[in-house]
Each structure stands twice: as C-alpha cells, then as structure tokens.
Structure 1
C-alpha cells in the first residue's frame, strides 16, 4: 500500500492574480475550504501517512495553516525552495524527505474526487500517469492514452518511483545529470518512450483550478450555487 505523497505548492499562482497577491494558491478557498484541505483529506482517505509539501511563495502562510489545520493523521514535511525549482527540480530536492518507495505526486492546483486505485508497479516500471479527456482550455492534450492511442490531458496526479529522478534517467533525458530548476515533463516523456511509464484514464471528478474562472466553476460544482 502506498504510504507517502508529495504536493506541489511552491508556485506564485500568476494566472490566479489578483487572488494570489496575498494568498498562496493552495490556500484559496473553494466551497468554504482551502484547496490544500481537499487534497489532504483525499490522502488521509487513501491511507497516506507522510506528505511532503514544497514551499516558496508566501511559505509562512502555508506553514502556519498546516500547523493549525492539517489532519492529525498526517506527518507533513516541508521542502522549502530558496528560488523556484520548477516541477523537476522541486521534486529532486524533496526526494530525500521521502522513503525509497513509490509515492503519489499531486499538483496543488487541481481538484480530485478521490485518488485512483494504485497499481502494483513492476520492477522496471517508474510509475503511472492519470489522464483526463482534454478540457476546452487544453484541447491538444499532453500524453497518449495507452488503451486508446488518443491524446489526453495530464490530470496532475501520478504515482511515481524515486528512480524516475535518478542520475541515469536525468542523463538519458537531458544529456547531463541536470540539477537546479528544471521541468518534470521531459523525464516523463523519456520514461514513456522507454516503456517504463504507463498512462491510464482518470474517470472521476476532476478540475484544473488554474484561473479565477475555473475556481468559481469548481465552487459552483461543489455547492450548486454561484459565489
């Protein structure tokens, strides 16, 4: 059973401005609760025990909210970035805070009904990505669904092994053992090309909460009423 997870929460939320001028995006309220609270509840329900959260923008607010309001069932550890490391660099910095076992990786600006069922990964597998049908704001998708061959959009939820960020994989992807700030997507594409990463369709409720309009749409979905 998967016991650990990481949530990306370091970004500045520029597309969410002005809402994020004085509030980190994971603490924006939807249906009366911060986005981060929804994620942590989903992780508790899935049996997660340890969660790493990366911090940068308005980090003190996130740290204080976790101290006061996070579920007591979770051990929460922070990976603070002196400068933004993007998704790949942020994950690489945080890996020593996780056990050398598979972990859930979740974007802080999405909403999920629940975590999908975790597959049993084979020895050579590096993980699985869950995709959703392409939303109107992202019609071209990100990856190909293995079952259908159709392009679909990354949900922001994946199950990964730390080996995805190994020196060998970084050299295979970038031609060098990349450190510092770099994106995770090239590593995912390389692992898919190698046949070491799989894709599956996420069939439950999902939303990319990347703009004020989509935050409002999620609030309406959850409450049945406009803000």
Structure 2
C-alpha cells in the first residue's frame, strides 16, 4: 500500500445478539435504509475528502471485501476507463484496504488488538468507528483532525446521550469549552457525575497503541486479543483523552428489533 490511511472501520465482530441474521451475513453488511450499515460510514468519509480507509474483518470477512472491493465510488463510473482513473485523491471515492484477522488468526482480535494489528497501515492521527452503528448525521472533517492533532491528547471521543439499553453510560465529560470539548473521564462507581455512552466514533493517536500505553508489539504479529476500554481508562487517568457530545441520530444496531425499527417505512 503506497499511502497510510486516515481511518479504520471496525467490522470484525460476530454479532451474536443479531443472530440468526448474522449466521450468514456479517453484521456491518446488514442493510439500513437500503445500504449496508458500514457503507454509511464509508460514504461519509469520502464526502469528508478522506481518501482511504482500512477495514478490519473476521467473521465472514470475505463477504465484506467481495461487497466493496478496493474502491468505493459515491457516483458509479460510467465505464471501465473512468473506473481506472479513480484514485485515492478523488473527492467522490474511497480506497479500501483490509486487515483480515479471521484469515490471519482465526478470529477477531477485539478493538484494541484489531487497531494494533492495523496500525502500520494507519496515519499518525486516524479516525476509528464501529461498522455496526448507524449515525447518518456524523460528519468527518479535517478541521476536527487538525484540532485533535494540535491538542497533544492520545484520543478524542464522541459521546452520545445514553440509550434505553445502556442507561448507565460509559464515560464522563468535564470542563467543556465554548466548542463543547472537554476532558473525558471515568467517574468512580459511586459518583453522581453524568455519564454518556461512547458512540464508537473517535480520533486516535498512534502513540495510544504503543508503549508505555499499550503492551502489544507494533502490528500485533502474535494476534493478541485486547479490548479498548482499559486502554482508554489508563489514558483518562492521565488526562490524555478529550471528548465532546454528539447529538445527531445514532443507534447501536445491536438487535434484530433495533434493525427493524430503523427500517420502518417513513410515514
């Protein structure tokens, strides 16, 4: 791969709660409003003029690569010559690269393990998001990347109001500035501080997935499985994570019922 990608779309999960739908289809390919879930993210990245993305896969991962191939075009090319002219710099296309955890290690490496595996393919600062959430209003901007890069933080998270199925939330937000950006915190269990739910949209710095923050060797050659939350909490304890509230439409498409609700015809 000639260039490092500015984003990773996490698409390796099994989707146990979505069974039987995910017995034959990877969760990120389940359709919402006529498109695979993860395609909404891919198109938004292209619209933000981010030229490429890495997709990590495991369960039925070959279906994801077969579906999208090596390039996603917002406007399908008229002919083969036009297809060949598409490049990573095209504002209406997104080059796709893959990190096949299932093929390489027999299964998903969890979020931190998967990002560590794909790290050599990613830019120093990169977007990360789950391929199984629906957030059609989220906008990827270079301004957000530049602001984060200048902050010296290791991570910046977008938090959402707690949905009915996750009332306790995940993280807190302290001292937000005029733009709504503040420190992301992990309030004690007995705290009355407001918690919000992690939307899975984030900007990360390479350093978060290297020593001393992360013990996984670069590129995760042994295929070590590791969750993301402990790594984030470690960085939060040192005031190295910022956050803001995202108020657009957002759904964790975790059950067939939530998927059906999103696909109800508009009155």
Runs of 4+ that moved beyond 3 A: none
Aligned to 2:181: none
Which is further off, 110-119 or 58-67? 110-119
Q: Distance in 1 between matches of 2:197 and 2:229?
A: 12
Aligned to 1:13: 15
Q: Distance in 2 between matches of 1:41 and 1:110?
A: 14
Kindly report which structure 2 residues correspond to 1:1-227, keeping only aligned pairs within 5 A, or say none: 4-67=6-69, 70-71=72-73, 73-81=93-101, 82=105, 83-99=107-123, 101-112=124-135, 113-115=137-139, 117=141, 118=144, 120-121=147-148, 122=150, 124-147=152-175, 149-170=193-214, 180-220=224-264, 223-224=265-266
Alignment check: 8 A CA contact 1:147 1:200 kept: no
Q: Distance in 1 between matches of 2:166 and 2:41?
A: 23
1:99-132 CA deviation, whole Å, 9 max, x = no partner?
Answer: 2x21110011111112365151235311210100
Structure 2 residue runs without a partner (length 5+): 74-85, 87-92, 177-192, 216-221
Q: Secondary structure at the match of 2:152?
A: coil
Q: Secondary structure at the match of 2:63?
A: helix
**Highest Rg: 1 or 2?**
2
1:68-98 CA deviation, whole Å, 9 max, x = no partner?
Answer: 8832611111001122211110010000011
Q: Distance in 1 between matches of 2:171 and 2:49?
A: 28
Q: Distance in 2 between matches of 1:147 and 1:224?
A: 39
Alignment check: 8 A CA contact 1:116 1:202 kept: no
Which is further off, 39-48 or 119-128? 119-128
Q: Secondary structure at the match of 2:25?
A: coil
Q: Distance in 1 between matches of 2:175 and 2:262?
A: 29
Structure 1 residue runs without a partner (length 5+): 172-177
Q: Distance in 1 between matches of 2:108 and 2:260?
A: 27
1:36 Cα deviation from its structure 2 partner: 1.6
Alignment check: 8 A CA contact 2:11 2:56 kept: yes
1:146 Cα deviation from its structure 2 partner: 2.2
Alignment check: 8 A CA contact 2:70 2:95 kept: no
Figure out how many residues of one structure are paired with residues of the other and give that number. Answer: 214
The TM-score normalised by the length of structure 1 is 0.88
Alignment check: 8 A CA contact 1:51 1:77 kept: yes
- What CA RMSD, in Å, does the superposition of the two structures yield over aligned residues? 2.0
**For residues 69 and 211 of structure 1, do their structure 2 counterparts lie closer, same or farther at Cα, with a shift above 3 Å needed?**
farther
